[in-house]
Amino acid sequence: MTMKDVVRSAIKMGFDLYGLNPYLKKGETLVQEPDWKDKKAINEYFEKSNKQRKENCGIYFRNNVWWWGCTSAAIQKTCFDILSEEQARGLNFNDGVKYDNLLAIKIAERLERMLEENRLDKVCKPIQEEFEEGEKYKDYYPYSEENFENFCMFLRESGGFKIC
């Protein structure tokens, strides 16, 4: 397996965050899971589910493993005093660790403050350099203001979340 193959497979892997009690548009309920033996029902489920996720940002958030590296490290750096040891560790694994609504909002507030104070590069550049191991993995751990803004919207609308 070449390094290019490793990178391609890693890009597909990632961190899926699900809202525990997401805020939905008025009158809307979460799409119910289908009979997993019925292909038509499965296709309809994914079509409705994807549409619902786009319209309700607190249902689901995803970063591939490369993007999540800086995101999770920035959370740990800015929120070290409000995360339990399990929650800090849980940011790096798909173990289903839960973060309640109040904590999700506090994380959003701190990350938004980081963005408002133009500290994104100050927080993330050292993280990126730490991950890069010199030039070997340069640019494999990206971050952007837009990704952090989308993540903060998810946090505020999620009603708490878990990482799976």
Q: What is the DSSP string of the chain?
A: --HHHHHHHHHH-EEEEEESS---STT--PPPP--TT-HHHHHHHHHHHHHHHHH-TTSEEEEEHHHHHHHHHHHHHHHTTTS-HHHHHHTTS-S--EE-HHHHHHHHHHHHHHHHTT-HHHHHHHHHHHHHTTTTTTTSS---HHHHHHHHHHHHHHSSEEE-
| pTM given for the model | 0.84
Containing structural domain, residue 13:
3-23+58-163
**114, pLDDT greater than 90:** yes
Q: What is the pLDDT of residue 138?
A: 58
Q: What is the pLDDT of residue 141?
A: 82
Task: Tell whether 88 and 99 lie within a shared domain.
Answer: yes
At 124-152, the pLDDT tens digits run: 888 877 776 656 665 678 899 999 999 99
Task: Tell whether 131 and 83 lie within a shared domain.
Answer: yes
Q: What is the pLDDT of residue 8?
A: 42
Task: Tell whether 96 and 16 lie within a shared domain.
Answer: yes
Task: Tell whether 115 and 148 lie within a shared domain.
Answer: yes
Q: What is the pLDDT of residue 7?
A: 41
Q: How confident is the model at residue 10 (pLDDT cuts 50, 70, 90)?
A: very low
At 58-91, the pLDDT tens digits run: 999 999 988 998 999 999 999 999 999 999 999 9
Mean pLDDT confidence for 88-99: 95
Task: Tell whether 137 and 81 lie within a shared domain.
Answer: yes
Q: Write down the mean pLDDT value for the chain.
A: 88
Task: Tell whether 100 and 130 lie within a shared domain.
Answer: yes
Q: What is the pLDDT of residue 2?
A: 43
**36, pLDDT greater than 60:** yes
**How many domains does the chain divide into?**
2
Q: How confident is the model at residue 37 (pLDDT cuts 50, 70, 90)?
A: very high
